[in-house]
Structure 1
Amino acid sequence: MRMLLVEDNDELAETVLDRLRHEGHSVDREADGEEANALLRHARFDIILLDINLPGRSGYEVLRSMRSRGDSTPVIVLTARSEIDDRVVGLDAGADDYMVKPVDFRELSARCRVLARRRAGASSNLFTAGTLRFDRAAKLAFVSDKPIELRAKELQLLEVMIDNLGRMLTKEEVADKLYTFRESPSLNAVEQLVTRLRRKLEGTPLVIKTARGLGYLPYVSDDE
């Protein structure tokens, strides 16, 4: 998943970034509320992890600004404020979830998966299509019960395609979902990544169709 962490505590931010990136997610970070709000006006993420006590603009203000613009990106508020009233304010402002620091990273990962499943319309971490099986929690894929060796970016791409079945994705959208701003990949790199994943999915019903000039259309074929 492509995530944005908005957190001004450098030590905590590095810990969260290391954990999420180790799990295969692409994560950018902002430490200032005003800068995060400006970024969110033009950049799109799958999930936002949002602190409340931020310089420039509070997390609540960032959240209210997002929702007023019609931005429905899932948001998990991460804060030291544990009072019920604070939780109510956060949820009423438009947060999808609320976690009190210090967070358990296993729980944080699980809650991120719940929001990702909800947005994709899935009820389980397990995706199955014919001979293909993908476990979102374990980050493992199998074809005919045999594990597929997938690199980190290939796993991310597989998850992106599964979460967008039947929807045309431009190469730019795919790149935005896979890479942080620091990585700046070429569209050729995206093409090569799709080609490698296609090769590893041969014989399964999951098809990634290239539409010239448009992008990629992932779907499950009835012919397999």
Structure 2
Amino acid sequence: MKIVYIEDNEELRETIGCLMEGPGRSITCCANAEEALQLDAQAPFDLVVTDVSLPGQSGTELAQSLLKQAPLRWIVLCTGYDLGHYPAQWGPNVRTLLKPFEIEELEALLGQIEAQRPNATLQ
């Protein structure tokens, strides 16, 4: 599974990026949404994990842009604020992860997505 992790905090980006690594996972880390969009245009990622508060284009704007191209795209929005049910309205494969989160929470979410992914295709 090809995963892109977008986080503007360099220390968090490196730490979480390393912690997400595992068998069958390829992790690419980006500091901003614009960089992630460029890389995704070359070879789409299976999963986009993004901070909501980013310089330039926000994580929510990034998610909405990607979902316009592929409504079944898997997206995880990491935020310090409870977004309620709002992101779920964007598509069936949009999840939120409330900061600060434990690595076990992230790993459980990645496991759920990996388990469900064979049933979903990018459209």
| TM-score computed with the length of structure 2 as normaliser | 0.83
- 3-state DSSP of counterpart to 2:86: helix
CA distance in structure 1 between the aligned counterparts of 2:8 and 2:85, rounded to whole angstroms: 23
Counterparts of 1:59 and 1:2 in 2: how far apart (Å)? Answer: 18
Aligned pair 1:19/2:19, yes or no? yes
Q: Deviations over 1:21-60 (max 9, x none)?
A: 2x33321011112222232223222221111111120111
Tell me: higher relative CO, structure 1 or 2? Use CA pairs within 8 A at least 6 residues apart: 2
TM-score scaled by length of structure 1: 0.48
Answer yes or no: is the 8 Å Cα contact 2:78–2:98 preserved in 1.
yes
Residues 161-184 of structure 1 deviation map (CA, whole Å, 9 limit, x = unaligned): xxxxxxxxxxxxxxxxxxxxxxxx
Letter in 2 for 1:105: I
Q: 1:119 aligns with which of 94, 117, 121?
A: 117
Distance, in Å, in 2 between the alignment partners of 1:115 and 1:56 is: 28
Q: Which runs of 5+ in 2 are unaligned?
A: none
Distance 1:93 1:71 in 2: 8
Q: Percent identity?
A: 28
Q: Output the aligned Cα RMSD.
A: 1.8
- SS in structure 1 of the partner of residue 96 of structure 2: strand
Q: Which has the larger radius of gyration?
A: 1
Would the aligned equivalents of 2:14 and 2:29 in 1 still touch at CA under 8 Å? no
1:117 is displaced (CA, Å) by: 1.3
- In structure 2, give the amino acid aligned to 1:111: L
Q: Across the two proteins, how many residue pairs are aligned to each other?
A: 117
1:62-77 mapped onto 2 (5 Å cutoff): 62-70=62-70, 72-77=72-77
